[in-house]
Amino acid sequence: MDDNRPEHLTGTEARAGTTPHMARVALLGGLGLVILIFAIILIVAG
C-alpha cells in the first residue's frame, strides 16, 4: 500500500466531532436585541 496517498475523511471526522449550537444562540439573541431597540425607538420617537 502506498503511504503517500492523501487520507479521505468525512465531514464529521475532519472537524473531529460535532459543533456546538452557540452561533445559533448568539444570532437569535442579537436579533432579539435589535427588535427590542427598534421597538423602544418607535415608542420614544413615535
Identify the domain containing residue 27 by its residue range.
Answer: 20-45
Higher pLDDT pick, 2 / 45: 45
Q: Is 2 a domain residue?
A: no
**pTM for this structure?**
0.56
Q: Is 6 a domain residue?
A: no
- Residues 24 and 31: their CA atoms lie apart, in Å, by 11
Helix ranges (H only) for 1-21 are: 11-14
- Please give the pLDDT value at position 20: 76
Q: Is 25 a domain residue?
A: yes
- Please give the pLDDT value at position 2: 58
Is the pLDDT reported for residue 1 higher than 60? no
Based on C-alpha coordinates, what's the Rg of the chain?
Answer: 23
Q: Is 28 a domain residue?
A: yes
Domain count for the chain: 1
Q: What are the pLDDT digits (tens) for 10-45?
A: 777 777 666 678 888 999 999 999 999 999 999 999
Q: Is 15 a domain residue?
A: no
